Homo-oligomer: A and B are copies of this chain.
């Protein structure tokens, strides 16, 4: 494979305010290695998503060592990144223990772009008291990201209780009629609570980017 097959979009931050990120699942080790070299050559920082531990282990040792890796979310920070800017304005709410990897991906992507997040985990509606106990904390944040699989009922309940922007992330948690997250996705799209927006299944990265877009927009809206 020749070098010219890969053309990183280093103009993206200037255009839409989001750093280039590398989705590793569909790329060969050779491609990732080349991308890291290109970024290093420019002194640019990169966010790596869907980077499995085995894939990390397969990278050249020097490159792997330069990656700040999180095994739960399978994300890596390569090169310089933005410092955290002020208190958390985004809260990540997750329904069950199995939704943690997606919730952590949201948190990591926000951190990479200089934003803190408050985490409220394991508050599925089967035990509603777990959620209501944390409601004050959730409402204190203008942007709320809800991660839930299976029936995704958490998104509707939260959406009916908070006034902030609500971004819902369906997860692939569940089996059978969960259909790999399709049921959670559809349920969030037809939520009885108005104004909820949705991203792709397991797409913590996308939800974080959507939150970042809102934070950017708010500077102009204020």
Question: Which of under 10, 10 to 19, 20 to 34, or 35 or more describes the interface residues of A?
Answer: 35 or more
**Could you say which of A52-60, A75-83, A190-198 contacts chain B?**
A190-198
Knowing A11-B127, A217-B142, say if A210 contacts B190 (CB, 8 Å): no
In the assembled complex, A114 has its CB within 8 A of some CB on chain B: no
In the assembled complex, A45 has its CB within 8 A of some CB on chain B: no
B183 contacts A186, C-beta separation under 8 Å: yes
- A84 and B221 CA atoms in complex are apart in Å by 16
Q: Mark A139-166, 1 if CB is under 8 A from B, else 0.
A: 0001100000011110111011111111
B143 contacts A151, C-beta separation under 8 Å: no
Q: For A176, list chain B residues within 8 Å (CB).
A: 170, 172, 180-181, 185, 189-190, 200-203
Knowing A89-B221, A126-B194, A217-B218, say if A4 contacts B97 (CB, 8 Å): no
A160 contacts B209, C-beta separation under 8 Å: no
Q: For A89, list chain B residues within 8 Å (CB).
A: 221
- A178 and B98 CA atoms in complex are apart in Å by 22
A175 contacts B160, C-beta separation under 8 Å: no
In the assembled complex, A6 has its CB within 8 A of some CB on chain B: yes
A190 contacts B151, C-beta separation under 8 Å: yes
B190 contacts A183, C-beta separation under 8 Å: yes
Name the residue among A1, A125, A205 with the largest chain B CB count within 10 angstroms.
A125
Min distance, Cβ A217 to any Cβ of chain B, angstroms: 4
Enumerate A94-149 residues with CB–CB distance to B below 8 Å. 95-98, 100, 119, 121-130, 142-143
- A137 and B154 CA atoms in complex are apart in Å by 24
In the assembled complex, A215 has its CB within 8 A of some CB on chain B: yes
A interface list, Cβ under 8 A from B: 1, 4-7, 9, 11-12, 15-18, 21, 23, 25-28, 31, 35, 72, 89, 95-98, 100, 119, 121-130, 142-143, 150-153, 155-157, 159-167, 170, 172-203, 205-206, 208-210, 212-222
